[in-house]
Amino acid sequence: MKKLNAVESDAQGEAALDSKALEAIGRALRAHYDDLVQAPLPEKFAELLDRLEKKERRGDARKRRHASE
């Protein structure tokens, strides 16, 4: 019950904020994030995962050899 009240009063506080200002914030937030998501990625991340995958495959092959010996 206590928690519910806390949420309600926050919701009221938010309603009191100017709705146009909140819309502007929401739009800016998404623009900020979308801009980051669309930025070109450095190659190093994909390269790291390639290396990890190759290493794992080599490990698996070694395990299989050990198992068949």
Of 10, 59, 60, 63, which one interacts with other proteins (CB under 8 A)?
10
Contacts of 14 (CB under 8 A, 6+ apart): 22
- Which helix (H) or strand (E) element contains residue 45? helix 44-68
Q: Which single residue is written with the structure tokens 């068949």?
A: 68
Decide: is 44 part of the binding site for other proteins (CB under 8 A).
yes
Tokens linked to 16: 């009191």
Of 7, 66, 67, 68, which one interacts with other proteins (CB under 8 A)?
7
Of 1, 42, 43, 68, which one interacts with other proteins (CB under 8 A)?
42
Query: Residue 39: phi, psi to the nearest 5?
Result: -60, 145
Contacts with other proteins, residue ranges (CB under 8 A): 3-4, 6-7, 10-11, 13-14, 17-18, 20-39, 41-42, 44-46, 48-49, 52-53
